[in-house]
Each structure stands twice: as structure tokens, then as C-alpha cells.
Structure 1
Amino acid sequence: MSADSRESATGRAGGLSGMVWLTWRQHRWALLSCLAMTAVLVGWMVYLSIDMTRLYHQCHDMQCPPYSTQHAALFNGWGPVLQSEILGLVVQYMPLLIGVFIGVPVLSREHEQRTLLLAWSQDVSPVRWLWTKLTLLGLFVVTLTAAVAAVTDHLAHVHADITGASLFGDKVFPITGMLPLAGSVCWFAVGVALGAVIRRTLPAIFGVIAGYVGLLLGIQWRYPTLMTPASFYLHPDQPGPLASDPNALVVNGDFDIAPDSVSNLFYASGREVTATDLFRMCPELSDHPSGTMIPDCIARNQLMTLVTYQPSSRIPEFHGIVAGGYLGLAAVALAAVWLIVRRTSLSAG
């Protein structure tokens, strides 16, 4: 073992100051990179928020009309709307980067470099070593991602005002509120846990990536129904829920007509329309089941569709549910790390 590795494992001094120095010495490049990227990201989003708000005020706090100068400035080419959407995508994957570059190396690198025997044989116990490092790195992650989350949430609201996009949409919802913060804490802890279990950096990184993508897809699939949706029957000449609540999330409201089946069409009494009934009422649909005559047929027979949706007033509750899931997973990961460290044999390094 080189003198530099030995010094990195033991630190310049015991106690908290030694652990602070050790944590900085081992993770300084990742921490500096994250700090620089966060500064650029936050500054860029603040600038976009100011620029887009200025143009929005010029349109009298309404969506700018097409072909206006303000609309062109917002949407044409590499405009602020496109930039804000790209930055939102960066924020969405920020927890993954934190898990890969800050979480995984905490223990996997110690195993790969076989420095655990030296590090844990000093006056700092393995458990104290673990919790001190996790606390220091965790505070760093929380501070940076809290700043990013606050600025991103503001930018998302400005973007929604300008474009009419719903804050409940699957691309906007994951980056609003404190979800970027909760997600970053979660994947930092999961990264540490996978590094402790697998003991190799590269396989642990692939594990974090696979877990992140799987959980992200699962959340996008399930979050619209985390609470029982509100519902109502809608006539074709009535406005939908987005007319009065533009940030609502429509779970289902479409109907489907095929030659042998019909779904989500109802009589005024609430009884569902069958394919036989529909083609009897509207024989013209037999030749063109998906043509332009469908709205006329539905209106003429006073048929309705069942619309299920989540009102925007539930967004804070959904944030709490998803954030609670993230933090619960983080707690499980940290408990697993604690058990692994307690049972790790020092002779194994």
C-alpha cells in the first residue's frame, strides 16, 4: 500500500476533524464537480425564470399569442422553453448521478483498494466511521439538491404558465416540490448500499442505473392512481377538467370504438353502451368506425364518456406520498449498510 493510500485511509488526525479531512480527501473531485455543476444549473435556471417571466408579463400574464414577438422569443429554435425542458430532464436524472458518483464509491472503493482493514483498525470504530462519512456526504447532497429543487420548482411553474403544460404531467411532476431532494437522498443511500453489497464499483454502478430506471418507470406508471381519481360523466359539448383546472391530471377520458367492441361510452342513465347498441343507433359507423361522424353520433344520442382525473389540489399529497417512498427506501438502504458494516470482517479488508 502506498503512503498516499495509507494517509487517505487514516486521515491526518483522529476525531471529527480527521474524518472531515478523510472524506474531503477521498471524495474531493466528485464533490467539486457536483458543486460546479450545481452552480451552473441553478444560475442557468434562475436566468431562464427571469427571462421567461419578463416575456410572460409582456403578454399581460397570459399565454403569448402565436406569431407574436414574445412567442417567437420563447419557442423558436434554442429558446428558453426548450432550454427549460432540457434542464428539467437534467434535474430528473440528478439523483442517479449522485448515487453513481457519490454514493457507490463510499464503500466499494474501500473494498477494491482493500483499505478497510487499515481504516477500521484506528481509533474510529467502523460504525462511527460509516455514520460520520454518511452524515458529511449526506449534508452536502441535501444542501445542493435543496437549492436545485427550489429553483426547478419555480421554473416549472413559469414554464406551465407559458406553455399550458400540466404540473401533474409525467415529465414535470417528478421535478417539482422537493422530489429532486428526496430522490437524491434515496439514491445516495441506495448507491452506498449497493457498493457495500457488491464491493465493486462498476457492477454497483450498473445496479444503481438499473434500479433507478426501473423505479422511475414504475412511478410514472403508478403515480396517477396513488389516490382514487375523481370522476364525472362528460357530454361531448362540455369542457373537460383541464378547462377549469389546467394543472389537473387526466387519468382516463378517451373512448374506443372497434367493429366488435366499444369502451367508455355511456347512456345518460349511466349504463354502458355496447357495440350492438352503438351501431344500431349510428349505422353510418359500420363503414367508418373511426371517422369524423363519431362526434355527431355521440352528440345526437346524448352519450357520455367517463372522465377520471386527479385535481391539482392533490399535487402536494402526491408529492408527500412519492417523497415518503423515496425516504423509506433510503432508510432501508441505510439500515442494510449498517448491518453489513457491523458484520464485515476486518481481516477481509
Structure 2
Amino acid sequence: MTPITRPRLAAHHEDSTESTATPGGGFSGLIWLAWRQHRWTILGTLVLAAVLVGWMTYLSAEVTDLYHQCHDMRCPEHSPQAARLAGTSNLTLTLASLLLLVQYMPMLIGVFIGVPLLSREHEQRTLLLAWSQDVSPARWLWAKLSLLGLFVAAVTAVVAGASDHLEHVVSNVSRVGMFQYRSLLNTGMLPLAISICWFAIGAALGAAIKRTLPAVFGVAAGFIGLTLLVRWRYPTLMKPLSAHLQIGAPDNAVLRDKNDLILTGGFIDYGRDQPSGLYDASGHQLTGAELERLCPPDDGAGTVWSCYADNHLQQYLEYQPGSRIPDFHLILAAGYLGLAAVALAAVWLIVRRTNLSAG
């Protein structure tokens, strides 16, 4: 009885070991592991993305309907359609809130998906167990980064498509051009590139700091700082064009295209000792006092613009033409993806130097 029983116990032990090891071995095992560890974050992200995309799609249809009611042009002031698109209406506030959420979505991805990737392993001291199996640390790292990165890319690509469509629809019924900062970041595939960037930065900070909460604060501070820097510098990513535009000229293509981004000029200042922004025919910029003597303010009567035209006054503008928007999308996306590559390289170096005995 004993010689028969022992082999059967051994066989049962081997089968048991194999069945236990199967979910954790190979690429399919890493998929299972990533799902088990991040399933609630993945499901929550999918639900929030579905709500966001559905809401933006619904609002796009609503604003498009208003656009058609106004004969496919900007709605006239004091019309019922214009009232619904006014700055304090419920529709406008909802639009602004949703588009602002799209702009901050990359930070949320960095905080909730990127940071825990390695910081949680350090805090729970499970790295020794995870990396002492049949999967090397590098393979474990790249598999999880690839799986979660593909998930982030797929979700944010859908959100980016919905926000791009909504921004174009809103631009049709408003004076806001597509070159304004908020619109620029929410269009094209920039939400996708920025989200991948902050996912990678979040993973790098989690690996470097090894604590979730400090890494979260690092992501938030870095996101806000980089956002402010980009907002300050993006108009000069390409050398702006310049033009002298005569007041009252019949063909003024620059000021007529609302997607052009005016950097300097385009305004008139009546401060007595300040430059007015208007130039005479010889190219001399008039001060506010000189302009007031030449063309006194008319209190809205409409004669002052005729005076500007009669005296051949000009505006000097530096601007980025709306035709450059795709180029700016490409430049910004390349910059964010470059930061993502640097962050991924940092993660790889940190993992290589991680002391497993420290957990």
C-alpha cells in the first residue's frame, strides 16, 4: 500500500505545483497578474472614460443642433441660441468643466495608474516575491508597462477623438479660435501623447521615491509646473509671422481668421504716454496722446474708425497662422513623448539597480 501511495502523492504534488505556477508564468501569466493587481483601477478608468466620451458626444450633438438652427454660422446676439451659449449658461459651464477634465486627465492617469505600478510593490515589500520567480525583473517591468501603457493609449485615444470633435463644434458657434491654449491641448492626439507621458513619469517617480503619497504629490506638482511652462512658451515654438495691416482695408485675412493666434499688436491703447498700437504711414508708432489728438474718441458713434482709415493708420501684428495648428500638435506631441521615453529609461535603470534584499 505504501509504495503505491507515495507515487500518487508525488504526482498530485507535481500537478498542484504546475497548476499554481501556470497563472504566474509566461506572458499570459503577466497579463493575469496585471489584471489582478490593477483590475479596479482599469474598470474605474473605463467607466469614467465611457461617461466622459458619452457626455461629450451628447453635448457635441446639442451644440451642432444650435449651429444648424443659426444657419451654420455663429448665432446672432440676443437670440435664444446665443443665450444658451452665453458665458454663464448651464450648457457653457458644462462644456467648460468637461474640457477642463480632459486637460487634467493625464495627471489623473499618472497618479492612479503610473505611480502605483512600482511604489505599491515597494510599500507592500512584494518585489522580492515578484522578481524571484521565473520572470526576470526587466521582463516583469516591460510587460506591465506595455500592458498598462496600451490600455492608457486606447482609452485616451477615444477621449481625444471626442474632445477634438467637441472643440471644433464649440469653435463654430463662438469667437474662440482653435489656437487658444485650452483648445490646442484638447485637440488632435495631444491628450493621448500627454497621458502616455504622465503615465511614464508617474511610474518613474513611484520607482524612484518608493512611496505612493510623495510620488502622487510629485506628479501633481510636475504636471502643474509643466502645464504653466507650456502655456507660457507654446506661442513661440515656431517663429511668428508679422504684418502691417491698414485700418479699414477691405481684405484683412489675418484678423478675419479667428484661428490665427495674435501674439503682439491687435489692440489700441489710449494711455497718454503709452504706445497706442497704431502706426502712421511712415511707420512711426503713435502714443495714446498723439492718437487722441488725431482722432478724438467718439463715445461709440463709429466715426473714430473712419478717422483711422482716412489717416492711413496701421496695426503691426505678430501672429501664428491657424494653418500651423497641425505643426504645433506635432511639436508638442514629440516633446511629451520624448519626456515619456526619458521617464521609461529612468524606470529601467532604477529597476536594474534595485536591491531585492531590501524588498
Q: Under a length normalisation based on structure 1, what TM-score does the superposition of the two structures give?
A: 0.87
Structure 2 residue 51 is matched with structure 1 residue 40: yes
Is the CA contact 1:167–1:247 (under 8 Å) kept in the aligned structure 2? yes
Structure 2 counterpart of 1:267:
280
Is the CA contact 1:195–1:204 (under 8 Å) kept in the aligned structure 2? yes
Moved more, 101-110 or 65-74: 65-74
Is the CA contact 1:182–1:323 (under 8 Å) kept in the aligned structure 2? yes
Structure 1 counterpart of 2:319, from 304, 309, 316: 309
Deviations 1:299-325 (A, max 9, x none): 565332211111111000000000000
Name the SS for the 2:181 alignment partner: coil
How many residue pairs match? The answer is: 333
Aligned in 2, Cα 1:283/1:111: closer, same or farther, shift over 3 Å? closer
Structure 2 counterpart of 1:152, from 153, 163, 182: 163
Deviations 1:147-194 (A, max 9, x none): 000011001000000113101111211101000000000000000001
Superposed displacement of residue 13, structure 1 = 2.4
Moved more, 81-90 or 43-52: 81-90
Distance 1:149 1:159 in 2: 15
Distance 1:212 1:76 in 2: 28
Structure 2 counterpart of 1:29:
40
Aligned in 2, Cα 1:255/1:74: closer, same or farther, shift over 3 Å? closer
Distance 1:26 1:308 in 2: 52
Superposed displacement of residue 129, structure 1 = 0.3
Deviations 1:93-114 (A, max 9, x none): 0000000000000011111111
Distance 1:220 1:334 in 2: 25
Superposed displacement of residue 244, structure 1 = 2.7
Superposed displacement of residue 134, structure 1 = 0.3
The within-5 A match list for 1:204-215 is 204-215=215-226
The within-5 A match list for 1:116-127 is 116-127=127-138
Distance 1:205 1:333 in 2: 15
The within-5 A match list for 1:312-331 is 312-331=322-341
Aligned in 2, Cα 1:138/1:283: closer, same or farther, shift over 3 Å? closer
Residue identity opposite 2:345 in structure 1: A
Aligned in 2, Cα 1:216/1:11: closer, same or farther, shift over 3 Å? farther
The within-5 A match list for 1:1-349 is 12-75=23-86, 78-238=89-249, 243-253=255-265, 254=267, 256=269, 258-262=271-275, 264-270=277-283, 272-273=284-285, 279=289, 281=290, 284=293, 301-349=311-359
Is the CA contact 2:248–2:306 (under 8 Å) kept in the aligned structure 1? no
Moved more, 314-323 or 12-21: 12-21
Is the CA contact 2:122–2:211 (under 8 Å) kept in the aligned structure 1? yes
Name the SS for the 2:285 alignment partner: coil
Name the SS for the 2:173 alignment partner: helix
Superposed displacement of residue 66, structure 1 = 2.8
Gaps of 5+ in 1: 1-9
Q: Under a length normalisation based on structure 2, what TM-score does the superposition of the two structures give?
A: 0.85
Name the SS for the 1:93 alignment partner: helix
Moved more, 235-244 or 36-45: 235-244
Bigger Rg, structure 1 or 2:
2
Is the CA contact 1:241–1:248 (under 8 Å) kept in the aligned structure 2? no
Residue identity opposite 2:323 in structure 1: S
Gaps of 5+ in 2: 1-20
Name the SS for the 2:233 alignment partner: helix
Moved more, 295-304 or 22-31: 295-304
Deviations 1:241-271 (A, max 9, x none): 564312111111135565544264433233x
Name the SS for the 1:163 alignment partner: coil
Structure 1 counterpart of 2:9:
none
Taking only aligned residues, the RMSD between alpha carbons, in angstroms, comes to 2.6
Residue identity opposite 2:198 in structure 1: W
Superposed displacement of residue 27, structure 1 = 1.1
Residue identity opposite 2:134 in structure 1: D
* Percent sequence identity over aligned pairs: 57
Aligned in 2, Cα 1:60/1:307: closer, same or farther, shift over 3 Å? same
Name the SS for the 2:48 alignment partner: helix
Residue identity opposite 2:320 in structure 1: Q
Distance 2:317 2:64 in 1: 33
Superposed displacement of residue 22, structure 1 = 1.2
Is the CA contact 2:84–2:92 (under 8 Å) kept in the aligned structure 1? no
